[in-house]
Chain A
Amino acid sequence: MARLRMNAAEDDSPDRWEAQLRKGVLEMAALATLWSGRMYGLEIIRRLESRSQLALAEGTIYPILNRLKAEGMVTSQWVEAEAGHPRKYYELADAGRKRLAQMADAWAGFSAGVNSLLEPVLAEKETVR
């Protein structure tokens, strides 16, 4: 939280703010893609793009997966594929499943509150258009 405020003070351009916001939810979003089964890196990236507009430098996801693995949130396994080369599949570990459930709760409460706060702002923008 302090960091969010600090960054806002350093640079309050909307682009920078949006980039921070995306980065902030990326870890949760990456865990969420694994909720219903294992996936490899490119699948995770495509799922993030199609479901949540979290487009970003594709390389960003791999260091995050690497860290989540080191923290015991996910496990990984090389699987031989028809493509001719093995792919590294990630799967949620118990700790990651628990963490994601907590994050989802926090997110749901938080975003509902912020949405209701923003309602009049968005409504006014509609009528101006």
Chain B
Amino acid sequence: MNADQQMETYLSVLRAHLGPMTLNEREEILREIAAHIRDAQEEPGAKLDDVLARLGPPEKLAAQYRDGLLIRQASRSYSPVVLLRGTLRLATRGVSGMVVFFAGMFGYLIGGGCVLSAMLKPVFPQNTGVWMRDGHIVSSGTLLAIPAGAHEVLGNWYIVIMLVLGSLLLLGTMYLIRATLRLSRLAQTRLVGGLQ
């Protein structure tokens, strides 16, 4: 393989792994890396093999660009899918990311469950609610079998309370994830700035 082909191969692998970026951004990155390779080759005693080796594998370089993009997008997003994908990327980096990912999953599931149950109340009024027996809550939610001897206490207030509770949980989860992603974006500077 001659030098030009070798450089083309490097750039095309890089291009292939920059998938999620916009066309403009991708071309700009490729132009910049190509300029780097040409300039570095012209330094005294430089060989293309060394230049490419010092740049690192193209897959890894692309992954660093994608990390930056994903976390940047996610820290501004409202979509649970984008947010969870962002934390999933963090989760591959260490324990703290994993904790946030599972906390996020938990928050979305419980919050979504509350909202869903509130919407089911008008459909299954007898089977949805909060049941008490002897002053204790025995069960709540939308159930197939109502607990024996217990009575439902909230009535239609159930809809209001569950909607508010669910929305608060969903919003809280969203802000928690966005804050975490924003912090992690600053994690590199935090090493310095956080020690003030």
Contact = CB atoms under 8 A, between A and B. Distances in A.
The reply to whether chain A is a binding partner of chain B is yes
Given A20-B191, A58-B56, A110-B192, 6 more contacts: A2-B96, A3-B94, A42-B36, A86-B35, A106-B192, A107-B192
Interface in B166-196: 184-185, 187-196
B42 A83 contact: yes
A2 to B, nearest CB: 7
A87 B39 contact: yes
A60 B36 CA distance: 13
How many B residues touch the partner, as a band? 35 or more
A63 to B, nearest CB: 4
Contacts of A110: 192, 195-196
Interface of A: 1-4, 6-7, 10, 20-21, 23-28, 40-42, 57-60, 62-63, 66-67, 70-71, 78, 83, 85-88, 99, 102-103, 106-107, 109-110
Contacts of B35: 40-41, 85-88
B61 interface: yes
B40 interface: yes
B191 A25 contact: yes
Nearest to A102: B193
A59 B31 contact: no
A83 B36 CA distance: 11
Contacts of B65: 62-63, 66
Contacts of A88: 28, 31-32, 35
19 contacts: A4-B191, A24-B191, A24-B192, A25-B192, A40-B39, A57-B55, A58-B40, A59-B33, A59-B55, A59-B56, A62-B32, A63-B68, A66-B29, A66-B68, A67-B185, A86-B31, A87-B39, A103-B193, A107-B192
